[in-house]
């Protein structure tokens, strides 16, 4: 997903009359100087995209439903957290069938989910120690069926 390209600012507190001043962030280095206690770490937010598409087919006594969805969350940097979410993308595909037969009703479901989740420290926060990149990918299959 790559590095975020989000402009960030820090807020320095403790100015005269309680006013803070905004300043542009500078890239930190691992083992660099800590962020001063009167400075709030950078923040940023790229936004979220959610999409879904559903399709259903019904005939007498039978129903087939298909759905696909995507959720993509961009960079989220929170001043009160050491880690920032640098990317999160999730795909979900589901299928469901219900049918009425002479011997009873049948219900079956099948699903697949693919998630990629990334976190790291913001560029001005390396002073907490070393960077902490996390890159996780999960693929999950699910199924169920039953007769009533």
Q: Is residue 73 part of a domain?
A: yes
One digit per residue, the tens of pLDDT, for the chain of length 148 reads 444 444 454 444 444 444 555 555 555 555 556 666 666 666 777 888 999 999 999 999 999 999 999 999 988 877 767 678 888 999 999 999 999 999 999 999 999 999 999 888 766 665 555 567 788 999 999 999 999 7
For the chain, how many structural domains are there in total? Answer: 1
Domain residue limits at 18: 9-147
User: Does residue 45 sit within a domain?
Assistant: yes
Q: Does 121 reside within a domain?
A: yes
Asked if residue 4 belongs to a domain, the reply is no
The answer to whether residue 137 is domain-embedded is yes
Residue 77 lies in a domain: yes
Residue 3 domain-assigned (yes or no): no
Q: What burial letters (b/e) apply to 33-61, b meaning 16+ CB within 10 Å?
A: eebeeebebbbbebeeeeeeeeeeeeeee
**Pair 148, 101: CB distance under 8 Å:** no
Global pTM?
0.65
């Amino acid at each position: 997903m790559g590095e975020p390209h989000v402009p960030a600012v820090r807020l320095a507190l403790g100015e005269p009359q309680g006013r803070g001043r905004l300043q542009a962030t500078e890239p930190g280095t691992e083992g660099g100087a800590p962020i001063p206690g009167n400075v709030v770490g950078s923040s940023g937010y790229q936004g979220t995209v959610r999409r879904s598409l559903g399709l259903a087919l019904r005939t007498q006594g039978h129903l087939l439903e298909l759905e696909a969805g995507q959720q993509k969350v961009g960079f989220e940097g929170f001043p009160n957290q050491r880690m920032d979410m640098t990317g999160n993308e999730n795909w979900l595909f589901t299928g469901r069938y219900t049918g009425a037969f002479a011997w009873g009703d049948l219900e079956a479901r099948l699903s697949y989910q693919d998630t990629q989740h990334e976190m790291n420290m913001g560029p001005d926060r390396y002073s907490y120690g070393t960077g902490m990149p996390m890159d996780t990918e999960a693929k999950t299959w699910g199924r169920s069926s039953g007769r009533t």
